[in-house]
Amino acid sequence: KDIPGTSAVSPGCSTECAPARQSPSGTGEADYCRRILVRDAKGTIREIVLPKGLDLDRPKRTRTSFTAEQLYRLELEFQRCQYVVGRERTELARQLNLSETQVR
């Protein structure tokens, strides 16, 4: 299965990773791209071009579990004003024992 936001291409015809200059390895590959081969459910092998900076081995961040009270307060604030900013966000985060990012 293709990964959203990536380009599955046949070998040698990627335009997204076309080198603007020769890489230090001398392969002609752009040094900011990473190619991986994946096999889909039908057994077809596809090549996917990804940026090298994408850390595929990094574990996902755990999803925040809000309490019923926190959800109630956040929904009330959202109904009042969809964008809580500045001191209001800081104060709401403090009252709910959440980070400002979680309140956002």
Task: Indicate whether 8 pLDDT > 50.
Answer: no
Which pTM does this prediction carry?
Answer: 0.45
Distance CA 62, CA 73 (A): 22
* pLDDT number for residue 98: 92
Helices (H), 1-104: 68-80, 86-96, 100-103
* Residue 72 structure tokens: 């109630």
48 vs 18 pLDDT, higher one: 48
* pLDDT number for residue 10: 39
- Report the candidate in 66, 54, 48, 53 with the shortest Cα–Cα distance to residue 10: 48
* Residue 2 structure tokens: 């293709």
Q: What confidence tens digit (pLDDT) does each residue in 23-47 have?
A: 455 555 567 788 888 888 888 998 8
What residues contact residue 35 under an 8 Å CB cut-off, 6+ apart? Answer: 14, 17, 29, 47, 48, 49, 50
